[in-house]
Amino acid sequence: MDAFYYKENTLCCEDVKINEIVSETGTPVYIYSKNAILSRFNELKTAFQEVDTTICFSVKSNSNLTICKILANEGSGFDVVSGGELFRALKAGGTPSKIVFAGVGKTDKEIQYALENDIFMFNVESIAELEHINAVAGNMTKTAKVALRINPDIDAKTHAKTTTGKKENKFGIDLIVAETIIEKAKSYKNVNVCGLHVHLGSPIYSVDPYVNALKKITVFIQKCRKTGIDIRYLNIGGGYCISYTGEEVIKPKDYSAQILPFVKEMQCQVITEPGRFIAGNSGILVTSVIYNKQNSHGKKFVICDAAMNDLLRPALYDAFHRIWPVNTNIAMPDIEAPDQCEVKQGMELVDIVGPVCESSDVFAKDRAIPPVNEGNLLAIFSAGAYGFSMSSSYNSRPRPCEILVDKDKYFVIRKRETYEDLIAGEDII
Ligand SMILES: Cc1ncc(COP(=O)(O)O)c(C=O)c1O
């Protein structure tokens, strides 16, 4: 988390103190580092530079227009999963010929919208979808480029709710069905099957699932080519892990070292769809303590003004985020993992919770932090991916604002929602 660091007992982002931002914006507030986003994008680019690679930033991880624009300016393409995400990618200045469209339920309207904008290709997830793409493209007298999203039945050893490449998952096409598609691919007159796609889940903390998937894909590509279907693009999806605990995790170069030999053997152009790796540790969520509360059983709660509607990951996936006061003279432990939480002297064991009326509205359970008082600020780290983009206004809570820090300056890149925003579009009849 190099862009976020403590200096003189206060948390900074690049050259700006978090206190300074909060005094203007209030809380809760998402704060991103431009430098962190760019350096992570470039780290990936370097890791895959030996082969022809298109990096398509996964818009679902952070769909803020400014963030997407920064990446578009750096040469990134986009991975979208809805008409709305495609709209965002285009608004942010994304190059259509670098946009890939995944998702199991693309509607005809979305397919048409994508074809009108001449996107790079569709990642197709079923025969039914392929037939719809063929029909819609036919009506428009266009040919749609497609990659078959293969479900290789491989366990990516991630959370059950974020595993996507096992046979029981709704995603992708298994290899047997994919073979039948390849056999009749040429009969789809308005579709050009020229790629294969695989996305196994997220975050993946080992290269093995990628390698195991690629072993299967290599054999399949050879079969495709024998049938006269020239597979030129290999989309290896996203899922690259980040450290949520401070522990060392594998890096893009570790992935690419093992992935590239397959790619070279298959002589394909690579597409990769990172989201979390670029945005995750490039952002934090800052919240204020509203109350401290203790029950007669000795349980202590820190109730803060951010909640599960602002950052859903802990409630949805039991996800671990480091949380530490913005202003403190106690250093945050280098590593803090769910089972390694130490209550050192001067610290308290608390549950850090939000105000939403759900028992799952808990950011951290039994977490040791320095004591905090009403009005103190807490930073929730690693919140740049699947943070704001998953937020909602549940409990009629206006969503937070988003700030981008660029060296010693910061910018509001999304305004805080107002009560009026909450009811915009509603009519009383
Ligand atoms: C098809 C696809 N590609 C890419 C991603 C991005 O994954 P990550 O943010 O872990 O890189 C996802 C995430 O769900 C996905 O579904």
Q: Are residues 349 and 220 in the same domain?
A: no
Which residue is listed with tokens 């025969």? 127
Q: Are residues 20 and 43 in the same domain?
A: no
CA–centroid distance for 413 within its chain: 18
Structural domain ending residue among the three candidates 277, 296, 311: 277
Residue 54 belongs to domain spanning: 34-277
Q: Is the Cβ atom of 280 under 6 angstroms away from ligand 1?
A: no
224: domain CATH number?
A: 3.20.20.10
Structural domain ending residue among the three candidates 277, 304, 332: 277
Minimum-distance ligand 1 atom for the alpha carbon of 164: 16
What is the DSSP secondary structure assignment for residue 385, as one 8-state letter? S
Is there a domain that residue 71 lies in?
yes
Per residue in 206-230, pLDDT tens? 999 999 999 999 999 999 999 999 9
397: domain CATH number?
A: 2.40.37.10
Minimum-distance ligand 1 atom for the alpha carbon of 276: 9
Pocket test for ligand 1, best of 122, 196, 199 (most atoms within 8 A of CB): 199
Q: Are residues 215 and 299 in the same domain?
A: no
Query: Structure tokens of 101?
Result: 């469209």
Per residue in 335-355, pLDDT tens? 887 766 667 778 999 999 999
Q: Are residues 105 and 148 in the same domain?
A: yes
User: For residue 106, which of 127, 90, 83, 89 has the smallest C-alpha distance?
Assistant: 83
Q: Which of 13, 56, 357, 401 is catalytic?
A: 357
Per residue in 118-167, pLDDT tens? 999 999 999 999 999 999 999 999 999 999 999 988 887 777 777 777 88
The CB-side HSE value for 27 (13 A sphere, CA atoms) comes to 23
For residue 295, name the pLDDT band (cuts at 50, 70, 90).
Answer: very high
Is there a domain that residue 428 lies in?
no
Q: Are residues 215 and 291 in the same domain?
A: no
Say whether 268 is catalytic.
Answer: no
Nearest-angstrom CA–CA distance, 104 and 19? 43
Q: Are residues 125 and 181 in the same domain?
A: yes
User: For residue 21, which of 312, 306, 413 has the smallest C-alpha distance?
Assistant: 413
Q: Are residues 250 and 376 in the same domain?
A: no
Query: Structure tokens of 286?
Result: 């800052």
Does the model's pTM come out above 0.85?
Answer: yes
Q: Are residues 234 and 323 in the same domain?
A: no
Buried b (16+ CB within 10 A) or exposed e, 385-424: bbbbbbbeebeebbbbbbbbbbeeebeebbebbeeeeeee
Predicted pLDDT of residue 343: 74
Query: Structure tokens of 372?
Result: 């905090």
Beta-carbon count within 10 A of 283 CB? 30
